[in-house]
Amino acid sequence: MPVKIPDHLPATEVLNKENIFVMTESRALTQDIRALKIGILNLMPTKITTEVQILRLLGNSPLQVDIVLLHPKSYKSKHTPEKHLTSFYKTFDDIKEEKFDGLIITGAPVEHLAFEEVAYWEELKEIMAWQLHNVTSTLHICWGAQAGLYYHFGIPKYTLSSKMFGIFTHTVTKRNVPLLRGFDDIFLAPHSRHTEVKREDIEKVPELEILSESEESGIYIVATKDGRQVFVTGHSEYEPLTLKAEYDRDVTAGKEIEKPKNYFPNDDPTKPPVVNWRSHANLLFSNWLNYYVYQQTPYNINEVSKAEGQWERKREGSQV
């Protein structure tokens, strides 16, 4: 939430320059507040687990958030009970006439396929095209990020020689960006993927900025300069035992799999992992929700298509 301060307090200018959100008294008096409408396009096979992980992070804010769960109509999920989907989920057809303040597109275990081979690719393309004019900001996670970067900007994914699996150290590449507000200089986040996107491909796209990366695990956070699309290649939302579950699953299946790096104490899979990425996950989601959704989206949700990116607003010197 913004700090509300007197109109001409000198701190306003200093904090504005640091992108710390302050609201003058006159603006606060005229501010209307409503619940935010956030869609979660859940592409994971472990849908119920993913719901909990994402809702836990979205719930860590004083803002009211209305959640709409979405699944692809063009694909029949093998692992999620039909009853769960019919009870709690909608499809794109149900909501395409509506506007959303935010949309989250999850990961999916389909990296081994070309994007075009994914059963719901045509539907996802439609959703990604729709999102440009009907959602204020979209947060893409892992495969969702690769799919978004490919669909919107033609950025390819590359197969890694071994799975990027574990907890990795990241640094802030671009300072004073609201999404990274309060981030430590070095912070940790989980990765669990067989593919990557490359810096040189992203740097060719003028609309994109690399916000955070890791020496070991590569690109981590990329966003459009207007903040309306955010791409995160890791899984900050993962719970303490999620990587262990993936590791145990692959060991049981007799697959060749290395232990997740920097995860088990002394690299001993019989010991419970120590969580060191939770504070980062909470900050990433609350910054996105606050600065890229709440502060940007119009009070009248039907005007979402007209929402401006925050960088443009800042340049014009107007109050967000």
Ligand X SMILES: CC(=O)SCCNC(=O)CCNC(=O)[C@H](O)C(C)(C)COP(=O)(O)OP(=O)(O)OC[C@H]1O[C@@H](n2cnc3c(N)ncnc32)[C@H](O)[C@@H]1OP(=O)(O)O
Ligand Y SMILES: N[C@@H](CCO)C(=O)O
- Give binding residues for substrate as ranges: 163, 192, 249
User: Per-residue b/e over 76-109, b at no fewer than 16 CB within 10 Å?
Assistant: ebeebeeeebeeebebbeebeeebbbbbbbbbbb
89 interface partner picked from ligand X, ligand Y, none, CB below 5 to 8 A per type: none
CA dist 264 → 260, 268, 279 (Å): 8, 5, 19
Footprint of ligand Y on 246-285 (CB under 6 A): 246
Q: Which residues of the chain form beta strands (DSSP E)?
A: 3-5, 22-24, 36-41, 65-70, 89-90, 100-105, 135-141, 158-172, 186-196, 208-214, 218-224, 229-232
Catalytic: which of 71, 170, 191, 235? 235
Q: Which of 142, 191, 196, 280 is catalytic?
A: 142
Structure tokens at 62: 């004083």
* Identity at 237, one-letter amino acid code: E
Distance from the first to the final alpha carbon of the chain? 12
Out of 170, 237, 246, 280, which one is annotated catalytic? 237
Residues 55-84 that bind ligand X (CB under 6 A): 75, 77-80
Asked if residue 217 binds ligand Y (CB under 6 A), the reply is no
Give the nearest distance from C-beta 84 to ligand X in angstroms.
Answer: 11
**Residue 237 designated active-site:** yes
Write out the binding residues for ligand Y, residues 89-118 only, by CB under 6 A. 109, 111
Partner from ligand X, ligand Y, none contacting 313, C-beta within 5 to 8 A by type:
none
Looking at the Cβ atoms of 194 and 278, the one nearer to ligand Y is 194
The single residue among 131, 134, 137, 192 that binds ligand Y, judged by CB under 6 A, is 192
Assess whether 142 carries a catalytic annotation: yes
**Site for ligand Y (CB under 6 A): how many residues?**
6
Active site residues: 142, 235, 237
